[in-house]
């Protein structure tokens, strides 16, 4: 049987006020993620990825449309409720890791457990389980500066996982890493997904996106399934339609058509 739907967006639009006017950034977005899926959202700079991520992560709300996350209607929520959902249901991973520089790896991972009001005596043990899982059991007393980029991202992933959120939401998680380290971080996401974690990853890099089970494309604020996208665009993001026009023009110039 198919896993239950964890996230469901219907007809989502998002506009930002711009002077006397509005700039619409997301158009009629429909998006569904089931439990235990690993989905990537792939799109170029300026396509609306961060805007969509902010809505998925309950950091911002849509202008219109409906959003149901883990059985809860997000659209009607106020800031305080949104913050609660964010803390309980979403684990964030960012491009620049966003660790607190003065704290050890261990304390960085413990922090969400303090917000979640987990009893003090349990926090350290739970954080240690996650730090061991990401392969940093021997670096828990290091501060971020004493860790490599890949290691810092592992701490950030442990922090995102420690409260056992319904979804891990990663925005360009390999964007600040070299290729090899990035691939290792993707190995880790794959492992966490195999163990049952639902992951949504946002990226502009097709190679990274392909590590997920499913790719959804975003372009000019519109979402496309891989099938829809491939019917319209080639692998370089050029419309098939435009390509044949370009080819016909070339042939005409050469006097062949």
Ligand X SMILES: Nc1ncnc2c1ncn2[C@@H]1O[C@H](COP(=O)(O)OP(=O)(O)O)[C@@H](O)[C@H]1O
CB under 5 A: which stretch of 43-51, 54-62, 185-193, 233-241 binds Mg ion? Answer: 43-51
Nearer to Mg ion, 49 or 126 (CB): 49
Q: Which residues contribute to the site for ligand X (CB under 6 A)?
A: 16, 23, 25, 43, 45-51
- Least Å from the CB of residue 48 to ligand X: 4
d(CA 171, CA 103): 23
Among ligand X, Mg ion, none, the one that 9 touches (CB under a kind-dependent 5 to 8 A) is: none
- Least Å from the CB of residue 232 to ligand X: 19
Number of C-beta neighbours around residue 149 at 10 A: 17
- Least Å from the CB of residue 52 to ligand X: 7
Nearer to ligand X, 21 or 254 (CB): 21
Nearest to 58 by CA among 162, 159, 167: 167
Among Mg ion, ligand X, none, the one that 203 touches (CB under a kind-dependent 5 to 8 A) is: none
Among ligand X, Mg ion, none, the one that 47 touches (CB under a kind-dependent 5 to 8 A) is: ligand X
Nearer to Mg ion, 50 or 181 (CB): 50
- Least Å from the CB of residue 25 to ligand X: 4
Contacts of residue 13, defined as CB under 8 A and 6 or more positions apart, other chains included, come to 24, 26, 27, 28, 29, 62, 63, 64, 65
d(CA 120, CA 150): 29
Could you give the angle at the alpha carbon of 36 between the alpha carbons of 162 and 71, nearest 5°? 80
Distance of CA 236 to CAs 4, 43, 104, 208, Å? Answer: 34, 12, 43, 15
- Least Å from the CB of residue 67 to ligand X: 16
d(CA 253, CA 133): 62
Nearer to Mg ion, 43 or 91 (CB): 43
- Least Å from the CB of residue 31 to ligand X: 15
Which of 13, 35, 50, 87 is close enough to bind Mg ion by CB under 5 A?
A: 50
Nearer to ligand X, 82 or 129 (CB): 82
Phi-psi region of 172 (alpha: psi -120 to 50; beta: other; left: phi over 0): left
Using CB under 5 A as the binding criterion, the count of chain residues that bind Mg ion stands at: 2
Nearer to ligand X, 220 or 241 (CB): 220
- Least Å from the CB of residue 41 to ligand X: 9
Contact criterion met (CB below 8 Å) for 126 and 133: no
Nearer to ligand X, 163 or 233 (CB): 233
Nearest to 71 by CA among 5, 9, 134: 5
Binding site for Mg ion (CB under 5 A): 49-50
């Amino acid at each position: 049987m198919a896993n239950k739907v964890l996230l469901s967006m219907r007809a989502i639009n998002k506009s930002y006020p711009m002077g006397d006017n509005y700039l619409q950034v997301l158009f009629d977005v429909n998006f569904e993620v089931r439990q235990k899926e690993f989905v990537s959202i792939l799109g170029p700079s300026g396509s609306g990825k961060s805007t969509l991520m902010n809505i998925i992560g309950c950091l911002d709300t849509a202008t219109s449309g409906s959003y149901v996350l883990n059985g809860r209607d997000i659209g009607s929520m106020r800031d305080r409720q949104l913050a609660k959902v964010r803390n309980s249901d979403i684990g964030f991973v960012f491009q620049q890791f966003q660790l607190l520089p003065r704290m050890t790896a261990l304390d960085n991972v413990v922090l969400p457990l303090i917000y979640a009001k987990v009893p003090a005596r349990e926090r350290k043990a739970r954080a240690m389980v996650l730090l061991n899982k990401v392969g940093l059991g021997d670096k828990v007393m290091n501060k971020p500066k004493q860790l490599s980029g890949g290691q810092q991202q592992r701490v950030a992933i442990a922090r995102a996982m420690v409260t056992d959120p319904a979804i891990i939401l990663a925005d360009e998680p390999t964007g600040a890493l070299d290729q090899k380290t990035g691939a290792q971080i993707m190995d880790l996401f794959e492992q966490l997904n195999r163990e049952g974690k639902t992951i949504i990853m946002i990226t502009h890099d097709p190679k990274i996106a392909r590590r997920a089970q499913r790719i959804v494309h975003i372009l000019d604020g519109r979402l496309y399934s891989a099938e829809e996208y491939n019917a319209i665009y080639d692998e370089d993001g050029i419309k098939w339609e435009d390509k044949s026009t370009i080819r016909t023009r070339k042939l005409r110039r050469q006097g062949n058509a």
